[in-house]
Chains A and B, each alone.
Chain A
C-alpha cells in the first residue's frame, strides 16, 4: 500500500531559534497578541510504499533521522498525512 506521510523537523528544546524569535517579535505589530513559544521548522511530505502504516512510519523515521534532520540540533517526527 501507499501511505501519505508527513515528517516534521523542529529544533530541539534549548537550541536557539532566531527565526522563531523574530517571527514572535513581529506579531504584536500586526495586532496579534498573546502568541508565545513560536518555533520555526520544516515539513516534508512524501508517499511511502509499505505493507502497513507502522512500517511506512518506520521508514519515514529512519530517513528523517539519516537525512531530513540533523540530530545534533533537531528532532524529527513522522505521522500519516491528513487527507
Chain B
C-alpha cells in the first residue's frame, strides 16, 4: 500500500482534508510534524495548505527553515513524489525546490472560488493519469497566489514541460496563467488550487480525484 506523509507545520489548516482525500483513494496516510528529521518509509509527501508559521514575513518564508524541509529536499533528490498545495506550493518555492515565487493576487483580494484548470503536462506525478488539455474544476483559496518569475525561468519552465496546470480564466494575475508547476524531473509539484477539496460531486466537484489518484499511484522517480 502506498504510504503518504502529510507534513504539519504550526498554522497548517488543510492537513485533515489532504489526509482524508488520499486515504479515500486507498493510501495509508499519516501526519508528519514539522520537526521530523527524516521521511523514511514514505512513498509520497504532501505539504498542505494553511498559514505555516503564521505566514509571517512572507508565506513559506519561515516554514522553509523547519527541520522537516531538509528531509523533504533529500526525499525529492532521491526521486520521491512531493506535492505542495497552496501554502505548500509557497513553501516549495521559498525552499528553492520549485522556481519562481507567489505574490499577492493582482486584485489584492482573498480569492475563494471554483476555478477551471487546464492540464498542460502529464509528465508529473500529479498529472500522469490525466489527459493533456483536460479541464478540471477545482477551488482556489488564497491571497498570495499570483505566480511570478523572470523571463529566463518562464522559458525554462516551457522548454522542460514544467507547466503542469493553467487557469482557463486567470483569477489572480499569475504569469502565463500558471496554476501549478513541477521540477524538471516531474516528481516535485506545486499548485495553488486545492484538489483535496474536489473529491466528491456532493461537495461541488470530484475533479481533484484524477490528480490525487495520479499522486498516490506515482512510482518513485516518476519520469
Chain A interface residues (CB < 8 Å from chain B): 14-16, 18-19, 22, 67-68, 70, 72-73
**Is B170 in contact with chain A by the CB < 8 A criterion?**
no
B61 near A70 with CB under 8 A, answer yes
In whole angstroms, what is the CA distance A70 to B103 when docked?
A: 11
Q: Which A residues are in CB contact (< 8 Å) with B148? A: 15-16, 72-73
Chain B interface residues (CB < 8 Å from chain A): 57-58, 61, 65, 93-94, 99-101, 103-108, 146, 148-150, 173
Contact flag A19-B104 (CB < 8 Å), given A70-B94, A72-B93: yes
In whole angstroms, what is the CA distance A62 to B149 when docked?
A: 23
In whole angstroms, what is the CA distance A14 to B107 when docked?
A: 18
* B contact face: mostly helix, strand, loop, or mixed: loop
In whole angstroms, what is the CA distance A19 to B108 when docked?
A: 7
Contact flag A18-B173 (CB < 8 Å), given A67-B57, A70-B94: yes
In whole angstroms, what is the CA distance A68 to B108 when docked?
A: 22
B152 to chain A, nearest CB (A): 12
Which of B94, B100, B108, B149 contacts A18, CB < 8 Å?
B108
A70 near B58 with CB under 8 A, answer yes
A72 to chain B, nearest CB (A): 4
